[in-house]
Amino acid sequence: MKLLSPALYFCIYFSFYVSLSQNSNISEYSKELNTYNFSDPNPIPILTNNAKIYPYFTFDGYQINNTKEKFKVIELENNYVKVFVTPELGGKVWGAIEKSTGEEFIYRNEVVKFRNISMRGPWTSGGIEFNFGIIGHHPSTATPVDYIIQKNNDGSVSCTVGNIDLPSRTQWRVKITLPNNLSAFHTDALWYNPTPL
């Protein structure tokens, strides 16, 4: 019995060490979602009804019937959580799941229903939306933003999303990082004004 105790302690320590040393993973794929899409842009210049978001145009029409649409998803995963980022839907954190229970701790809407809420019109619920610029629901909230994925030296993974806000002539970026040993992710935001003083 005394020989079993040190062996048992070694196994527990080793399995704990192995679980901490495992790296986070990052993957990129397309997911098909029921989508109530929006129209082509309104050809009338925005100066006529909302000059503060010039030079953007607006989208005025919205579907009442859904269709299947594919959206790019960036999945960050470690032993504890999965985090989903959608660069084609404004770069939002689309949702997050705690793996031991399978429960969402950030709501992931499985239906993309665009409606006239944001500065340019289309907006959809779900996830965490990043807002920069002159008013909430930034101009790219329903359209693709730039992104890059990376595996970090410390075993964590990151997805950085960002865009240029044309009315304010500023640039924004949000780096979403999932460490390999935590059941949480963190974000680092940068809002940069490149114009001279």
At 13-28, the pLDDT tens digits run 555 554 555 899 999 9
Q: What is the pLDDT of residue 144?
A: 96
How much is the average pLDDT of 51-76? 92
Q: What is the pLDDT of residue 137?
A: 84
In the chain, % of residues over pLDDT 70? 89
Higher pLDDT, 8 or 145: 145
Q: What is the pLDDT of residue 110?
A: 93
Three-state secondary structure string covering the chain: CCCHHHHHHHHHHHHHHHHHHCCCEEEEEEEEEEEECECCECCCCHHHCCHHHCCCCCECCECCCCEEEEEEEEEEECCCEEEEEEHHHCCEEEEEEECCCCEEEECCCCEEECEEEECCEEECCCCECCCCCCCCCCCCCCCCCEEEEEECCCCCEEEEEEEEECCCCEEEEEEEEECCCCCCCEEEEEEECCCCC
At 45, the pLDDT band (50, 70, 90 cuts) reads confident
Contact criterion met (CB below 8 Å) for 140 and 161: no
Q: What is the pLDDT of residue 180?
A: 96
Q: What is the pLDDT of residue 6?
A: 62
Q: Quote the mean pLDDT of the chain.
A: 89
How much is the average pLDDT of 84-98? 97
Contact criterion met (CB below 8 Å) for 178 and 156: yes
pTM listed for this prediction? 0.85
Contact criterion met (CB below 8 Å) for 33 and 84: no
> pLDDT at residue 7 above 60?
no
Q: What is the pLDDT of residue 159?
A: 99
Q: What is the pLDDT of residue 12?
A: 56
| Six-digit token string for 119 | 């500065």
Q: What is the dihedral of CA 49, 51, 57, 63, to 10 degrees?
A: -40
> pLDDT at residue 140 above 60?
yes
Q: How far is CA 87 from CA 31, 68, 76, 149, in A?
A: 12, 18, 13, 11
